């Protein structure tokens, strides 16, 4: 039998694929958050970083297709394992056997479903541009780099070059309370999903045993808390006005116009 087919037929093989795809997706969301936190720096930082990613061309599409494959495999196998577990236990237990199971493990599939819906919405709004609202509807003009962008000391984007204005796009997107609320709830559920998912990943890969098991759980929980707080601070700072758009940017101009219009209407 083909080894690949055998891998997807056996329960342990499916769990192994889930662990590997989960590790890839966890690495991605971590890197994505680090990139997004550049919103707290000058516009050149995040706009230059975004332009660098977009300029990767075929390599960027290779990464996107790999992530898409990981999502499909991760979700598909999770559905298969859920069905198999239900078929293996057609009758409900006479009493609750989930006393030792954590809340995160028992709600893993539900949090995963919400996170999947969030990913689709997030891509539709910030990547494809299908879901937009308010001032975000208007086509954003390009951004002219004021000082250029360097990565690891290498010049990537030159001063005066026009790039996509990701900085303003994020400000205008998160300036809408409902968008920010959905984002906060989704990353909260993602963090909750990872509490059990990451620990299970290490266990499936055989990296959870002995004295390391207790320490591993604490590291996973700490990572999930930091990930949630790091994700929360972006929409939170924008909504509360702690983080103001840089003067002269499209975000600053449109948010000021929107605020002025609201005051006049009142």
pLDDT digits (tens, 9 = 90+) for 185-214: 888 888 888 887 787 777 777 766 677 777
- 166 has pLDDT over 60: yes
The number of domains in the chain is 1
pLDDT, residue 62, reads 92
> Burial level of 138, CB count in 10 A (0-12/13-18/19+)?
exposed
pLDDT confidence of 257, banded at 50, 70, 90? low
User: What DSSP line would sit under 159-174, residue for residue?
Assistant: TT-EE--HHHHHHHHH
Higher pLDDT pick, 257 / 26: 26
Report the 3 state secondary structure along 39-50.
HHCCHHHHHHHH
Please report, rounded to a whole number, the percentage of residues in the chain having pLDDT higher than 90: 22
pLDDT, residue 8, reads 60
- Can you name the residues that pair with 151 across neighbouring β-strands? 154
Which residue's entry shows tokens 């207790």?
A: 214
Report the CATH number at residue 20. 1.20.1300
pLDDT, residue 232, reads 94
Print the domain residue range for 257.
3-92+99-265
pLDDT, residue 41, reads 93
């Amino acid at each position: 039998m083909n080894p690949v087919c055998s891998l997807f037929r056996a329960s342990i093989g499916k769990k192994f694929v889930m662990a590997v795809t989960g590790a890839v997706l966890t690495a991605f969301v971590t890197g994505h958050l680090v990139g997004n936190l550049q919103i707290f720096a000058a516009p050149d930082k995040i706009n230059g970083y975004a332009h660098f990613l977009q300029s990767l061309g075929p390599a960027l599409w290779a990464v996107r297709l790999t992530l898409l494959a990981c999502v499909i495999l991760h979700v598909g196998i999770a559905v298969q394992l859920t069905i198999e577990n239900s078929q293996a236990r057609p009758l409900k237990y006479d009493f609750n056997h989930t006393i030792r199971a954590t809340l995160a493990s028992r709600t893993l599939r539900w949090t995963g479903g919400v996170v999947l819906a969030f990913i689709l919405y997030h891509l539709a709004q910030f990547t494809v541009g299908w879901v937009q609202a308010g001032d975000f509807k208007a086509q954003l003009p390009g951004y002219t780099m004021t000082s250029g962008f360097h990565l690891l000391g290498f010049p990537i984007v030159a001063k005066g070059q026009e790039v996509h204005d990701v900085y303003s796009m994020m400000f205008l997107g998160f300036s809408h309370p409902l968008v920010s609320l959905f984002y906060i709830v989704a990353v909260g559920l993602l963090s909750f999903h990872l509490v059990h998912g990451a620990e299970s990943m290490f266990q499936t890969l055989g990296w959870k045993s002995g004295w390391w098991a207790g320490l591993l759980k604490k590291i996973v929980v700490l990572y999930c808390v930091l990930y949630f707080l790091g994700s929360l601070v972006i929409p939170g700072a924008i909504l509360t006005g702690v983080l103001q758009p840089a003067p002269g940017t499209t975000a600053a101009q449109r948010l000021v116009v929107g605020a002025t219009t609201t005051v006049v209407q009142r």
